[in-house]
Amino acid sequence: MLGAIDIGGTKIAVGVVSDGGELLDSQNWATDPSAAFDEEIERIAGALNGICSSRGIRLEAVGAAVTGPVNPTTGILGVNAFLPNWSGQALTPALQHQLGVPAYADNDAVAAAVGEAAWGAGRGTTSFVYLTISTGIGCGVVLNGQVLRGAGDAHGESGHQVIDLDPCAPLCFCGARGCWEVLASGTAMTRRWREQYPHSPWTVKEICAAARQGDPAALSAVAEEGRLLGVGIANLVTHFVPQVIALGGGVMESFDLFLPQMEAQVRAQCGLVPWQRTRIERAHFRYHAALVGAAALCRGLW
């Protein structure tokens, strides 16, 4: 049995995953950006130990999927915009100390890509891209069974590709204006809606629910979100022509609403590559993709 930890900007989740990728049990709580690193590690370890104790499970190893940059070799975290108190912390040594088993860590989108490639939407492919669309946009690329990494094992940040060169485009914490995340994440969709309809401060979930009921304004918001997501996806198709692009994260709870516009944008934008060979799918593990992917890190499936 493998321990799994998903540390995101919105929530922290822990769970136990079988060697075949089945999530057996989990629990989660809201992320507190102000919490001290050591306190949160103790809480994570306590929750995971509690699950194991209640089920009579002994862990073989534990994996952690973390928002932001992570050195997969040392387990040291980079500068973290969502969790400032975690920046520079040695995550895997802390987990090994608390849980007494080998620990592994990687960026959450990379971990989700590994899990989906091993056990989910990317199983059996040789070229696979995973995207998480939530508070931000994360991306993991798996080619020929290996995670695509850069210099010093760095993972790319495709969520911060610039898709709008207007000098007045929204500014992202990454330093760029008009990057994909600041325009197409769930946070961005909510921001656009509230700017247009300040007296109806709906969430993405509420906007999508209204769209299903035929609300014209909500349908327009969904179409624009699908188009903006499609711009970035089309760029990835042009770069990699993967067999499958799988989308997870909270926004993709309404995957079917966005798919037509995403596919239309790919058709319009990818004239020089065989875009027809790329399938856009919802992630198999859906809301739990990063959590299951964290367990896959333990198996060296990257």
Over residues 179-225, the pLDDT tens digits come to 999 999 999 999 999 999 999 999 999 999 999 999 999 999 999 99
Q: How confident is the model at residue 154 (pLDDT cuts 50, 70, 90)?
A: confident
pLDDT of residue 252: 96
What's the chain's average pLDDT?
Answer: 95
pLDDT of residue 12: 95
Model confidence over 13-37: pLDDT tens digits?
999 999 889 999 999 999 999 999 9
Token pair for 201: 């401060």
pLDDT at 116 over 70: yes
User: Which domains are present in the chain?
Assistant: 2-107+290-298 (3.30.420.40), 121-283 (3.30.420.40)
Yes or no: say if 265 and 71 are a contact pair by the CB < 8 Å rule: no
Higher pLDDT, 259 or 79: 259
CA–CA distance, 145 with 181 (Å, rounded to integer): 27
Is the entire prediction scored with pTM above 0.75? yes
- Mention every residue, 6+ apart, whose C-beta is less than 8 A from residue 274: 241
